[in-house]
Amino acid sequence: MVRSMGAIGAHSSVYRIFNVVALAAMAWALVGCAGGPMQGFFGRSGKSASVTFMKTIGPPAGVEKALNVELASAAKEHDVPIVQSGASYKVRGYLSTSPDGPNYKLAYIWDVLDASDKRVHRILGEQPIPKKGSDPWAGVDRQALSAIAATTMGDLAAWLPNQEPAERPVATAAQRTPAATQGGDSGQYLALVPTVSGAPGDGSKSLTLAIKKHLAGKGLKLVSAKGNNVYTVAGTVRMGRPSGNRQTIAIEWKVSDPGGKTLGKVSQNNTIQKGSLDKAWGSNADAAAAAAADGIVKLLPRARR
């Protein structure tokens, strides 16, 4: 599900980023939590590194075939490039079943390997499956495989963009804008980023640090106070009411000019597993900030043309 980032309508200054990059901190989201995994959340732009999936070790042929179908579908949903050859990374999977009370559980591990076959990333988790006779694999249905595929591609979608070289800073373009040259500071945009409001857990702190990092990486100079030539990037998180085991989340980044006029907003939204962000956000914050930074820069006067 590729969602290109752009203006909504001919005169709109709101940028919306949809389900392309997933929440990243899968270790605590997968291990020992009830319900299904988190689904895709934060958007991203730019071409991602690609992967190729090797033969999965452990499952019967029928289960592996069904899993491959779900992986292909989830890859499309999360915009993960899967190729047959020439991939940036190889993914080797392992599946196993074991008793879990009266039923079974299906454990999975995905090792991401670089060109030298060195493991550079790992995804792991468990999926409960019902007991159907003496064969533990008999209870592995499409729902279980779809959940595994969604989590796997969500994690890859969050991890892959971080392996790319940093994008070219926008400072050069900013030097040509009146607002930038007024600052007299090497032509950079000056940006004030207040603490993100409304986020559960440590999201306010981690999101603030993450967006500062990514904006600085795109050539903006961060300052701690408002000024005649300072743009403000204010982030707000809104959590919806839980419905069953799901919960909506929206992040809005409002960009204002030095006079306080709103230039536009970058919006990110989706449905996640209830309570999955109530504690540490981990790399989720970095994934969100990385996705939003491009849209924020596009709202600055020169970058928007």
What's the rounded mean pLDDT across residues 216-241?
Answer: 91
- Prediction pTM value: 0.46
Q: Return the top range by mean pLDDT from 22-36, 148-162, 194-208.
A: 194-208
Domain identity same for 145 and 190: no
Q: Are residues 95 and 139 in the same domain?
A: yes
Last residue of one domain, picked from the residues 130, 163, 196: 163
When divided into structural domains, the chain yields a total of: 2
Residue 48: predicted pLDDT: 58
Strand order in the sheet with 89-100: 51-53, 89-100, 103-113, 119-129
Long-range contacts of 33-37 (CB under 8 A, 24+ apart): 33/273, 33/276, 34/245, 35/245, 35/273, 35/274, 36/147, 36/150, 36/245, 36/273, 37/125, 37/147, 37/150, 37/151, 37/154, 37/273
Q: Are 197 and 204 in contact (CB under 8 A)?
A: yes
Are residues 151 and 172 both part of a single domain? Answer: no
Residue 38 lies in a domain: no
Q: List the 230-239 sheet strands across, edge first.
A: 14-17, 262-273, 246-256, 230-239, 190-192, 221-223
Q: Which domain holds residue 105?
A: 48-163
Highest mean pLDDT among 16-30, 159-173, 215-229: 215-229
Residue 255 pLDDT: 93
275 and 244: one domain?
Answer: yes
Could you read off the pLDDT of 119-134 as tens digits, one per residue? 999 998 999 999 888 8
- For the cut 70, the answer to whether the pLDDT of residue 106 exceeds it is yes
Measured in residues, the chain has a length of 305
Across the range 252-264, mean pLDDT stands at: 91
Rounded to whole angstroms, what are the CA distances from 169 to 113, 118, 130, 194, 220? 30, 31, 52, 22, 8
Q: Which amino acid is at 22?
A: A
- Between residues 219 and 2, the one the model is more confident about: 219
- The last residue of a domain, from among 139, 163, 187: 163
- What's the pLDDT score for residue 65? 93
Of 175 and 250, which is predicted with more confidence?
250
Residues 229 and 109 in one domain: no
Mean pLDDT, the chain, integer: 75
Q: Which residues pair with 121 in a beta bridge?
A: 112
| 28 domain-assigned | no
Spatial distance between the Cα atoms of 269 and 265, rounded to a whole number of angstroms: 13
CATH of the domain at 94: 3.30.160
The distance of Cα 147 from the centroid of its chain, to the nearest Å, equals: 17
What distances in angstroms separate CA 97 from CA 55, 65, 186, 301, one per listed residue? 18, 17, 60, 56
Question: Can you tell me the mean pLDDT for 10-35?
Answer: 29
In contact, 207 and 196? CB cutoff 8 Å? yes
Residue 12 is predicted with a pLDDT of 32
Q: Which residue has the higher pLDDT, 56 or 287?
A: 56
